[in-house]
Amino acid sequence: MFRLATGRRVVYEVSVWRCLQQKTRTANYSTSAQLLFCSQFSSRVASTKKLLSIRPVSLYASRLCQSNSQSTSDRGNAKEGLSLKTITHAPKPALYLGFSGLIPFLSAPLLMAASQSFYPEVAYAQVIYGASIVSFLGGARWGFAIPIGSPAQPDWKNLGNSVVPSLLAWLSLLCRDNIAEGALVVIMGLGLSLHYDLTLLPGYPAWFKAMRTVLTLVATFSLVATLIIKKFCTEKKFKENKS
């Protein structure tokens, strides 16, 4: 009986010891799992804190870079582009003298439209004035490229293109017997001069480009109006009508 009892006690103690060992193992496993989870959670929290601390700075830097790039691009577009609103920044002498130079262009078609007749002398006087303006624009570009420190170099391209409008003005004066051809040559010279001023020669201020565009368009439309009057109105001699 004692042996059995001791044997039972031994067996009971062994089973109890095994149960305790299993519990300790499970406890150790659970604690290690908890420690691992806590370490992973803390690492994730630290990483999120880093991301939260870095991301606003990176976003601010990226937005700042984007704004700087947009501002520089806008400045480049403002320098290269053409805006007619900048004509308000023109100096008053240039603005007044420039627009007063349109009087000979506009007076010819207005006079013929008021009398409802086409006068060759008046139309040819308009062509002569247009030729002088075209030649003046070519000489202005020549004078712009020659001074020291000018952004336009006095090379074959700039000086050669400055001579072309003067040659077109001379050709228009040879068309005395055909006013339509002379007016078309003047229109060609005005358009070519405007193309040179806006694209080829750098350094012109924005107000000058805007003023040149407006003046060229008005002068071109006045010559077109003269050609329309020539086609639809009767031709009369201005001297004969005066006498």
Each residue of 71-129: pLDDT tens digit? 343 344 334 567 888 998 999 999 999 999 999 999 999 999 999 999 999 999 999 99
- Whole-number percent of the chain with pLDDT over 70: 64
Residue 40 has pLDDT above 60, yes or no: no
Residues 6 or more apart from 121 whose CB is under 8 A from it? Answer: 237, 238, 239
pLDDT (0 to 100) of residue 18: 54
Token pair in block for residue 214: 């407006």
| b/e burial code for range 52-71 (CB count within 10 A of at least 16 → b) | eeeeeeeeeeeeeeeeeeee
Residue 27 has pLDDT above 50, yes or no: no
Instruction: Spell out the CATH class of 86-242.
Output: mainly alpha
| pLDDT average, residue stretch 209-227 | 96
Integer Cα distance of 222 and 4 in angstroms: 133
Q: Sketch the domain layout of the chain as residue ranges.
A: 1-80, 86-242
Lowest mean pLDDT among 38-42, 106-110, 186-190: 38-42
Q: What are the C-alpha distances in Å from 35 to residues 25, 27, 29, 39, 49?
A: 15, 12, 10, 6, 21
pLDDT (0 to 100) of residue 181: 95
Residue 187 has pLDDT above 80, yes or no: yes
Integer Cα distance of 236 and 143 in angstroms: 42
Q: What is the pLDDT of residues 137-158, one digit of tens each?
A: 999 888 888 888 888 888 898 8
Nearest of 109, 80, 85, 110 to residue 202 by alpha carbon: 80
pTM for this entry: 0.65
Mean pLDDT (the chain) is 76
Token pair in block for residue 58: 């990176």
Chain position carrying tokens 């929290």: 45
